[in-house]
Amino acid sequence: MSQGHPLLKLEPLIWFLFGQGIMIGSILMTGWLLVVGVLAPLGIIPPEALGYERAHMLASNPIGRFILLGILALPLWKGAHHVRHFFIDRGYAAHDATIGGLAYLVATLGSIVSLVAVIRL
């Protein structure tokens, strides 16, 4: 985006969140996707493991909430940053302030919803 744009002031923070989204987000997402996304629905693990009672017990544990927040929110920042670059790489750099702003807005709103989802468990 052009120099002097207000979003520029936040770029260090955005990049840091993007970096953590890649690292911590991806690392946590692996186990989540493997079990919750693939093994459990395929019936490869016993159904009680992620039945309502146990799942709720794990998730509402303070450490569980914290880890869930990482799984829900961090990948959003990796995603938003790359979606923004997706458009820049295809020649839409002139609209970067708008596209970037929109992408990070989605990430911010998603992070807030993630927090709400984790709190109301």
Partner 1 sequence: MPATKAAHPEAMAPAVNGPTRTAPPMQPSSWKTSPRMKQYSRFGLTGWIYLLASFAAIYIVYGLGSGPEAYAQVQALLANPLVIAFHLLCLISVGFVLVRFFGLFPKAQPARIGPAKPPPQPVLKAMLYGLWAGATLVLSVILAGGIF
Partner 2 sequence: MTTRRKFVVTRFDPDKDEVPKTQEYEIECQDDWKVLDAINFIKDEVDSTISHRWSCRMAVCGSCGMMVDGEPKLTCKTALDSYGDTVEIEPLANFPVVKDLVVELEGFMGKFQQVKPWIMNAKEEAEKKAASTMKEGTYRQSAEELMAFKQFSMCINCMLCYSACPVVSNEPDFLGPAAIALGHRYNMDTRDGGQDERNQIFREEGTVFSCSYANECSEVCPKGVDPAAAVNQAKFNAVIDWATGLVVSRPAPQGDE
Give contact residues for partner 1 (rule: CB under 8 A).
21-23, 25-42, 45-46, 48-50, 52, 54-59, 67-68, 71-73, 75-76, 78-83, 85-86, 89, 91, 93, 106, 110, 113-114, 117-118, 120-121
Q: How far is the CB of 103 from partner 1 (least distance, A)?
A: 9
Helices (H) and strands (E) in the chain, counts: 5, 0
Picked from partner 2, partner 1, none, the partner binding residue 102 (CB below 5 to 8 A depending on kind) is none
Measured CA to CA, the distance from residue 63 to residue 6 in angstroms comes to: 36
Q: How far is the CB of 9 from partner 2 (least distance, A)?
A: 8
Q: How far is the CB of 70 from partner 2 (least distance, A)?
A: 19
Residue with tokens 């911010």, as numbered in its chain: 108
Q: Are 5 and 97 in contact (CB under 8 A)?
A: yes
Q: How many CB atoms lie within 10 A of CB 5?
A: 14
